[in-house]
Amino acid sequence: MWANNLTGEIPEGICVKGGNLEFLVLNNNLITGSIPKSIGSCTNLIWVSLASNRLTGEIPSGIGNLNNLAILQMGNNSLNGQIPPEIGRCKSLIWLDLNSNDLSGTKPLRKLTFAHLLEATNGFSSETMIGTGGFGEVYKAQLRDGITVAIKKLIHVTGQGDREFMAEMETIGKIKHRNLVPLLGYCKVGEERLLVYEYMKWGSLESVLHQGGGRLDWGARKKIAVGSARGLAFLHHSCIPHIIHRDMKSSNVLLDEGFEARVSDFGMARLSNPLDTHLSVSTLAGTPGYVPPEYYQSFRCTTKGDVYSYGVILLELLSGKKPIDPTEFGDDNNLVGWAKQLGREGRRYEILDSELILKAGEEMQQYLRIAFECLDDRPFKRPTMIQVMAMFKELQVDPENDSIDGLSSVKEGGGGGGIDELGEK
């Protein structure tokens, strides 16, 4: 019922507790009044689009009850008040549009002094360092207000002045999602540029999965697969302008205290490379095993390139193997090539982690099918991340209710020190 010049208010009774309404699409009309508070009772809603109307008032906090909600569009109205934090509870949400309203509620970025960060890291001592990577060194620190954070001390960042850097940080800081690592603040003094992130207790997926300290059971891996896909889908489809990650890999998927996957380092490539959609040869050489084949010809980043890299991460979760491992695949092959060869030979079960097959072999095969679709050599044949999320939905994925009983032996921080890790060793 969109674009029909509908007028009046949305009736409070349109949302009935326990009702079967799945789509509430009334965008591009002339609807006035406020959003019904009863909307939080309609728990089967998947798509709510009220954009481009004349709605006023606040967004009801009850929206946080809509666990099946995938798309929420309320842009171009006159809504006011705080953005309800309860929206973060919508575990299926992949598209959020609240643009062009009079809303508030984002946590402004903290402008921290260099002296403050120097004190918090004990002079950036080796004892507080928890990781190194292509963008710099990472330190664990406790700020004066008691908050534990990860501080990234950037290196090799050129081509941006103070104003451009601050504008870029403010843009990245506004990007909030339950499956993204939030930027809390930054510091710029002289040539020093430091970013302050929320600290992730378990470190990177790469360190937990490949560097010992315990094993992830299938419930944990499934939750990480869906969470990282949801975070990447948000970057691709909900951010304006859309964000291409450029460096998706298991060391850039961090795990919070509840083993929720958080995608990190999105937007970082723009700090080191002013060309928005292009990569250099050195950047390509920095992430072997994750780079889609077309990048070696065009050097142009696309969302479909990110999808390929996500497919590698999914393959890591299913097989338990590293993307590059000469002892496993030889010098002239990698995880993707090895898995595709087994697939062609009808030996897909040999790809899966042997310790998980007995309990979850059939379900893992379904996930493997999705991984192969993401890893198609032809970019146009790969799904979008929204389509990946839809495929997970068809499998009735509910990672919140999966037991994660294989984590008791995992040491905090994963025992790793993986690339660009924001967790503890």
pLDDT by residue (tens digit) across 194-228?
999 999 999 999 999 998 755 799 999 999 999 99
Which of the four pLDDT bands, split at 50, 70 and 90, describes residue 19?
A: confident
Catalytic site residue 247?
yes
* 326: preceding bond cis by omega (within 30 degrees): no
Min mean pLDDT across 150-159, 206-215, 280-289, 382-391 is at 280-289
pLDDT mean over 263-288: 58
Kind of pairing between the strands at 110-111 and 136-142: unpaired
Cα–Cα distance measured from residue 132 to residue 123, given in angstroms and rounded to the nearest whole number: 16
Query: Looking at residue 411, what is its pLDDT?
Result: 47
Which of the four pLDDT bands, split at 50, 70 and 90, describes residue 401?
A: very low
Query: Looking at residue 362, what is its pLDDT?
Result: 93
Number of residues that this document lists for the chain: 425
Cα–Cα distance measured from residue 276 to residue 159, given in angstroms and rounded to the nearest whole number: 13
- Domain ranges for the chain, please list them: 12-104, 110-198, 214-415
Cα–Cα distance measured from residue 89 to residue 324, given in angstroms and rounded to the nearest whole number: 36
CATH code at 214-415: 1.10.510.10
- 185 phi and psi, to 5 degrees? -175, 180
pLDDT tens readout for residues 157-191: 655 667 777 777 877 888 889 899 989 988 888 77
Binding-site residues, in ranges, read: 153
Binding-site residues for ATP, in ranges, read: 153
Query: Looking at residue 391, what is its pLDDT?
Result: 96
Q: How far is CA 73 from CA 64, 104, 252, 303, in A?
A: 14, 16, 29, 22
Query: Which of the pair, 100 or 283, is modelled with greater confidence?
Result: 100
Which of the four pLDDT bands, split at 50, 70 and 90, describes residue 371?
A: very high
pLDDT at 268 over 80: no
Both tokens of residue 101?
């309203």
Let me know: does 323 contact 316? Beta carbons within 8 Å: yes
Looking at every residue in the chain, the average pLDDT score rounds to: 83
Both tokens of residue 229?
């896909």
**DSSP code at position 85:** G
pLDDT at 230 over 80: yes
Q: Which of 247, 256, 265, 306 is catalytic?
A: 247
Place of tokens 């009079």: 102
Pick from 223, 262, 225, 234: nearest CA to 400: 223
Kind of pairing between the strands at 183-189 and 192-198: antiparallel
pLDDT mean over 48-67: 90
Kind of pairing between the strands at 136-142 and 148-154: antiparallel
Query: Looking at residue 38, what is its pLDDT?
Result: 87
CATH superfamily of 110-198: Phosphorylase Kinase; domain 1 (3.30.200.20)
Query: Which of the pair, 94 or 388, is modelled with greater confidence?
Result: 388
Let me know: does 404 contact 223? Beta carbons within 8 Å: yes
CATH code at 12-104: 3.80.10.10
Kind of pairing between the strands at 183-189 and 148-154: unpaired
Specify the 3-state DSSP secondary structure of 138: strand
pLDDT at 99 over 50: yes
Cα–Cα distance measured from residue 163 to residue 253, given in angstroms and rounded to the nearest whole number: 29
pLDDT at 316 over 80: yes
Both tokens of residue 403?
């037991």
Both tokens of residue 209?
């999965």
pLDDT at 97 over 90: no
